[in-house]
Structure 1
Amino acid sequence: MKPAQLLVTLLAAWAAVILLVMCAAAPGAEAATTCNALQLSPCAGAIIGNAAPTAACCSRMKAQQPCLCQYAKDPNLQRYVSSPNGKKVMAACKVPVPSC
């Protein structure tokens, strides 16, 4: 195989690997949501204080929606999920309040 052909073959292989990695990590991919309450840190001002939720907060709230029951069952987090401000943030972000 000529060096130019080898280079093209290697570049094509790397492009395929990169494409596979990007598809696996793409938003909306069928991968399971990683539950991490720290992902909701943009919502702290709205949940703890009385600030309006930001776009970043709502984006994270929607991404973490599958985890809200887990957070509601955690003694350290349940007061935030079930608080009046927590419910206001979910309503403002159009995320249903979990019924667990």
Structure 2
Amino acid sequence: MRPIDSETATLAQVRAAIDQVDAELAALLERRAALAATVQRIKPVGGHRGRDPEREAAIVAAMAPLAPSLSREHLTKIMNAVIEAGIDASGV
């Protein structure tokens, strides 16, 4: 899809671009959830199943330079939701 010119784009064009991004995001979230489920199965049970705050902080730190318009606070909220949903989907 071609880049959107924010000065001349119509509402329909921008919404179509958002729909395309959402489709790509859905595929990536599906892939991430499958990988997270694998991680949950591989992890040892001794207190390490579920959430890992240090790993989550590292994920946000790695993503921050790739999404400079989003603050770390916003990335943390987004990734918290993604991680929780992935764990819920894995049945842990």
TM over 0.5: no
Choose between structure 1 and 2: higher helix proportion. Answer: 2
Q: Tell which structure's C-alpha radius of gyration is larger.
A: 1
Q: Provide TM-score, normalisation by structure 2.
A: 0.28
